[in-house]
Structures are given as structure tokens and as C-alpha cells.
Amino acid sequence: MNDPNRRTAMTASGDYATPAVPGSTPNGGSRPTGAALPRRLSIKFGLAAAAGLLVVIGLVVHQGLLQVGETLGRAGWGLGLVCLLHLPPLVCSSLAWRVLLSRHWPKATWLFIGTRWIREAVNTLLPVAQIGGEVAGARVLTFYGASPALGGASVVVDLTLEVLTQFVFTLLGLAFLVGSGRYDGTVQALAIGLVTVVPMLLGFVLAQRWGLFGLLERLLRRIADKRPGLGFAGLTGLHDAIQELYGHFRSVVSSGSLHLLSWLLTSAEVWLALLLMGHPVSFQQALVLLSLGHAIRSAAFLIPSGLGAQEAGFMVLGAMYGLPPGVGLAVSLAIRLREVVLGVPALVVWPFLEGRQVLANR
């Protein structure tokens, strides 16, 4: 049962604060606009994306453009089915996000599906680190009435649960791989990598509980003073909102379960792609390829969309099941194709929403 006082506190914690005049200090002096740092970051991520794209092109050329194209062509229009198979995981991830907010901000499921769609498109198709979509998603929620603090808190908790369940998903894939009797240097490297990730995950979760985002609030307030158009001025109360969301244990467990289901369902894309390409594998083997392939992609988080890392990962992992390197590369490219087909329309819708909000604020 919802606590009206608690919901009021959440809403009050996210009310907009009056932003300072950009380019000025409280005592009337001038200060830098802060535009140089985002511009430098954009250039660096753009260069990283270009380097990753060159790696992908190099791998395709090395494996043979005609051979890789023939493998993809064998799947033909069936690749459209691979794209459609991403819809159930997309819905599950959207519901996981909605569950977190259902007590404080109950909104229609379609809103979370659409916003999740935009989140994924930004993360996979734009030259940003793989959290740019979360910023875009939080902003879209504010267009529909969520306070900035609540929208920001929801993506922080949702992303945390998604990462934690990906870790479980990766462990499951590694267990299946070891159980199949394949013990080589790749398995050992993956196992060591997972062990090193554990303290990082625990540290991130504990930092959220111990005030990391209280520090972030102060940083965002300074950014809001310089660039009020970004909408960060209302993020006062972000830390309290995060603690509030974590305080509902049942919602957190339900959200995490839906995220894990989403990861499991995504394995069907790899299974179907390989079936259409004439290299059928079991669903368990497809799960191993996807879980460990995505782990490698996530490890390369500074490269937008893990360009190059995912392709190399699928080639190495596929070889463990007797797949030619070109086939592993083709599967990775099929996933990229799905990201483009589903993501480009989202990138058309997102600026429209941003523009509509600008007009509404005039």
C-alpha cells in the first residue's frame, strides 16, 4: 500500500530549484561557460567510435567481405525476425523500470517502453559512453511529469540492477561453458575478469548507499548554474530519491527478476541468427555466446557500443563451438543490424520530444 506522505516527500525532493544566471557567479562576477569539457569528451568518444569502426571493417576484410556477406545473405529476410525477437526483451526491461517507479510515479507501460527504446538507441548508435542513454531516458521522463530527481534516481537504480543481473547472466554462461568441458585460456581470462568485477560492483552499490550521489548533486548544481538548459537544476534530492527506491525491497527484486528474464530472452536472437545462417546451435550455446560476448562488449565501455570488441569476442567464443570466425563475426553484425533497424527510428523520435519540450517551456 502506498504511503501518501512518502510520495509527497519524493515529489518535493525533486522540485525545480531556481537556476543561477549562466555565466555569472553569486557575487556578479564572470566564470567559464563549461562548454569546453563536453566538447572535448565528444571528440574523444567520436575518435574511439571511429577506431572501433575501423577494427570492425578490418575484421570483415580479413575474414573476406564476400564470405561474411554470403553468411549474412543466407539468413536473408529472416534477419527481420531477429529484429522482432528483441521486442520481448525490450518489454521486459521496460517493465523492470516501471516496477521501480510504480509506487511513486505510476504511469502507463507504453511510456516506459518508448523511453527504454530511446535509451537503447542512444547507447548503441551515438558516439557516447554506454550510459548516455540513461541521461536521455531520465530527461524524457521529466517531459511527462517526473521530477528530475526521481527520473535520475530511477535510471541509476535501474541501470544498477541491469548491470548486476548481467553479471549473473555472465556467470550462468561461464558455468555452461565450463560444464561443456571447454577449459582454455579464454575461459580462464573470463573467470579472472569476473572475479575482478565483483569488488567494483559492490563498491558501486555501497557508494550509492553511502552518499556518492549526494556529491554528484553538488556537481550537477554547478553544471546547472552554467548550463540551465540541461535541466539539472531540479536534481536536489537525488540521493534521497535513490535511497527511497532501494527501500522497497519487493519492487527491487521484481525489477531485477525482469531484467534477468530480459537477458535470457535476448539469447534467442543469437540462436535464430545462427539457425538462419546454417550453423544451428542449442539455446544453451546461444546463451553462452551472448552472455560472454556482451561481457566483453561491456568491458570495452569507453568505446561507444563496444565497436570491435563485440565482434572479436563473438569470433573467439564461436570457435569454441566449432563455428568459423567469419560466422561469429556475422552473428555480431546481425546484432548490429538489429540495433540500427530498431534504433534509427528512436533517434528520430527523441529530438522531436526534446523540441516539443523546448516549445512547451517558452
Per-10-residue mean pLDDT for the chain, 362 residues long? 44 39 41 51 76 90 91 93 96 97 93 97 82 89 91 92 94 89 71 78 78 70 65 70 91 97 97 96 95 89 86 92 94 96 96 89 77
Q: How many CB atoms lie within 10 A of CB 24?
A: 13
Distance (Å, whole) CA 216 – CA 268: 38
Domain boundaries of the chain, sorted by first residue: 82-352
**Residues 290, 274 contacting (CB under 8 angstroms):** no
Grid cell digits, residue 235: 536534481
Q: What distance in Å separates the CA atoms of residue 225 and residue 22, rounded to the nearest whole number?
A: 5
pTM of the full structure = 0.82
Q: From CA 256, how far away is CA 258, in angstroms rounded? A: 5
DSSP helix/strand/coil, 119: helix
Question: CA 284 to CA 137: how far, in whole Å?
Answer: 32
| Alpha-carbon gap, residue 135 to 238, rounded angstroms | 14
Query: What is residue 15's predicted lDDT score, i.e. its pLDDT?
Result: 43
- Among all chains, which residue has been given the C-alpha cell 548544481? 221
Residue range 66-83, pLDDT digits in tens: 999 999 999 999 999 999
For residue 157, what pLDDT is reported? 94
Determine what percent of the chain is predicted with pLDDT higher than 90.
53
The stretches of 1-147 forming alpha helices (DSSP H) are 4-13, 36-63, 65-75, 78-84, 87-101, 109-125, 132-143
